[in-house]
Structure 1
Amino acid sequence: MPRGEARWAWLLSDGGEPRNWMLVLAPLLGWHDDGWAGVGWGLFAAVFTAVLPTLILRFGERRQYWGDRHVRRRQDRIVAAPGVMASVITGTGLLHGLEAPAEVTSLVMAMLAVLLALLVITFFWKVSVHSAVASGALVILTSVFGPWMLALTPLVALIGWSRIRLRCHTVGQVTVGALIGAAVSAPVFDLLG
């Protein structure tokens, strides 16, 4: 792969990490639902959906439970999943119990539903979490802010391209990830939001 292309692929892949979507999306939806107080709830949600999962993945990487923060091997993802899921489940419970704004709680519930779907698939096949979260974020943004958010569709496609280009996933794994992210996120978010 040409050097410039590899650089762009890494930038898109790292920028499009699931944690980054949650760091932006949770406070944004919090603001939309409840102003500055909602931003605080969104940041609280981001702790459980982005910050703690990142720390868990880094801890596992340092202990050599898996190779890197992207947890590329399918078998390693099954080992990493319980810690990440525990963080998201805890956050979901706290948001619900503390009566956080509906859009923030619905976002985290939608993320949890996507993670559960991906975990089931991961027992048999590797699927792109990057693509699933990016497409899930896109459908939620479209649900909240309207169809003009579909202008972000090329970004979701570019994140998928980066994962393929870096040989982290196949076209099929990226496509299935994107389809699952959208198909699971939309109904869960709309039902609960």
Structure 2
Amino acid sequence: MSTVRADTAPRVARWVSVVLHPFAVFGALALVAAWRLDPASLGRTAAGIGVAVAIVWVFVLQRRRAGHWQTVDASRRQERPLLYLLVLLVAGGYWWWMGGGASASSRGVLAAVAMLCVAAIANRWIKLSLHMASLAFAAVALSALLGPRALVVLLLLPLLGWSRLRMGRHTPAEVLAGTALGLACGALPGLPA
């Protein structure tokens, strides 16, 4: 019985990590925010998220295939500066595409950008888990959009933390620090209520 569990755990950890990937989490958050705050922007939001994810994903795959990265997660700290730079540029482009400061989701996008800036600066000392940061951020932001129904997302944090540790992508300190950063930035004043 324990052999089955030992063989299954890595697959489950990988599955959890893929399903709760920052692309999926922020994509879902953006769509829910558009649906709740400005339903007319739903199509524009979906297109913007699709283009943003495609740009970053092409870059990630290129870095991995060229041998510059060990994994598609940019698992080494020295792999992350270029990723942060690209993601921040793409997030800025998405913010502009959605209408800049006039967009209903502007403050949420800017709070996510602030979170990424802090993670990029902290990368000099610690490789924060962006998986954990994005899910924690989404849990707080969704609570402002959906109320108590967003508790489900918060309850996924321990499962994702286990996944990142089980896969060896992060240390416990990196998982906890990523979670704390996401919670703090998700709670920034001015997020939609």
- TM beyond 0.5: yes
TM-score (norm. length: structure 1): 0.88
Residue number in structure 2 paired with 1:191: 190
> 1:98: how far off?
8.5
Q: 1:74 aligns with which of 66, 74, 77?
A: 77
Percent identity, aligned pairs only, is 26
> 1:48: how far off?
5.4
Q: Counterpart of 2:17 in structure 1: which amino acid?
A: S
TM-score (norm. length: structure 2): 0.88
Contact 1:29-1:42 within 8 A present in 2 as well: no
Root mean square deviation, CA, Å: 1.9
Q: 2:28 aligns with which of 24, 28, 36?
A: 24
Q: Distance in 1 between matches of 2:157 and 2:21?
A: 11
Contact 1:138-1:150 within 8 A present in 2 as well: yes
Contact 2:60-2:72 within 8 A present in 1 as well: yes
Q: Distance in 1 between matches of 2:133 and 2:52?
A: 15
Query: Gaps spanning 5+ residues in structure 1: where?
Result: none
Cα distance, 1:106–1:128 mapped onto 2, change above 3 Å: same
Contact 2:132-2:160 within 8 A present in 1 as well: yes
Residue number in structure 2 paired with 1:86: 89
Q: Distance in 1 between matches of 2:18 and 2:8?
A: 15
Q: Which stretches of structure 1, 4 residues or more, deviate above 6 A after TM superposition?
A: none
Q: Over residues 32-84 of structure 1, what are the superposed CA-to-partner deviations in whole Å (9 max), with x where a residue is unaligned?
A: 1122x221132134135533222221122223332221000001112322122
Q: Distance in 2 between matches of 1:4 and 1:79?
A: 34
Q: Distance in 2 between matches of 1:65 and 1:86?
A: 21
Would you tell me which structure has more helix in proportion to its own residues?
1
What is the count of residue pairs matched by the alignment? 188
Q: Distance in 2 between matches of 1:51 and 1:20?
A: 12
